[in-house]
Amino acid sequence: MLESTNRKSDLECISDDLTSLLQSISTTKTIDARTFLFQEGEEAHELYVIQHGLIQISKLTQEGNELNLRTCQEGDIVGELTLFTDEAKYMLNAYALKKCKILIIQKDQLEKELLSNSRLTFEFMKWMTNLLRINQSKIKDLVMNGKKGALYSTLIRFSNSYGIQQKDGRLIDMHLTNQEIAKFCAATRESINRMLNDLKKKGIIQITKESKILIKDIHYLRTEIGCDHCPIDICVID
């Protein structure tokens, strides 16, 4: 490991002021692995900051299919889509992949605090704008170059969010099954498997002993989907 991950959590992206505010007005709780922090349709009066653990944000379809949208870890803010909204229901599911320690922040309290401090507001709006930009670029990536584009985009985003630079490439420091990747791409496990094997044969990626993905030629992935010069803070998982 030559260099630690360059991923910035939500809390790292926003200022220390906001961070300490969030921590000062919050309580904590612990949730077990393989349980939901919240589910679609539930009333949303709180939002959360992950102190420790791993949470998957997803959306379910009627047929039981699942689309993964984010994978969140320490420092990330979860549940943000309900802020300042009358419609107080979650649209998404938050599922704990590991045991988590969570800060709980009351939505109306945060709203109150934000409105009384314009510097915090500025930080928060900046963060929201960034989420908007990320989502815009995701729409393009998932839709414009078929499933291959969706996969390449997902790999690039994971690399930017959770990658560790190594001498022979960039390691996605996270255990990802074919099935999980498929859920980010809205593709089937089998298609993802075939495409990953193609990338292996071409030498673009490599699977490590701990079955993590090592990206040896990220430039190939980028040029294939035409995100050659897109800003690195946009091409991320959350």
From its own copies, DNA, none, interface partner of 129 (C-beta below 5 to 8 A by class): its own copies
How far, CA to CA in Å, does 160 sit from each of 170, 193, 230?
A: 9, 22, 12
Find the shortest distance in angstroms from Cβ 148 to DNA. 5
From DNA, its own copies, none, interface partner of 39 (C-beta below 5 to 8 A by class): none
Q: Residue 4 is encoded by which pair of tokens?
A: 């630690």
Exposure string (b/e) for 78-104, b if CB count within 10 Å is 16 or more? bbbbbeeeeeeebebbbbbbeebebbb
Q: What is the dihedral of CA 28, 29, 35, 41, to 10 degrees?
A: -60
Nearer to DNA, 34 or 89 (CB): 34
Q: 222: how many CB neighbours lie within 10 A of its CB? A: 17
Binding its own copies (rule: CB under 8 A), the pick from 30, 32, 33, 84 is 84
Residue 182 burial by CB count (10 A; 0-12/13-18/19+): exposed, middle or buried? Answer: buried
Q: Kindly state whether residue 92 participates in binding its own copies, applying the rule CB under 8 A.
A: yes
Nearer to DNA, 8 or 147 (CB): 147
From DNA, its own copies, none, interface partner of 168 (C-beta below 5 to 8 A by class): none
Q: Kindly state whether residue 16 participates in binding its own copies, applying the rule CB under 8 A.
A: no
Find the shortest distance in angstroms from Cβ 9 to its own copies. 18
Q: Kindly state whether residue 85 participates in binding its own copies, applying the rule CB under 8 A.
A: yes
What is the helix (H) or strand (E) element at residue 148, kind and residue range?
helix 146-162
CA distance 19 to 55: 19
From its own copies, DNA, none, interface partner of 233 (C-beta below 5 to 8 A by class): its own copies
Residues lying near its own copies in the complex (CB under 8 A) are found at 59, 61-63, 65, 67, 69, 80-85, 87, 91-92, 111, 114-116, 118, 121-122, 124-126, 128-133, 135-140, 142-145, 150, 186, 226, 231, 233-234
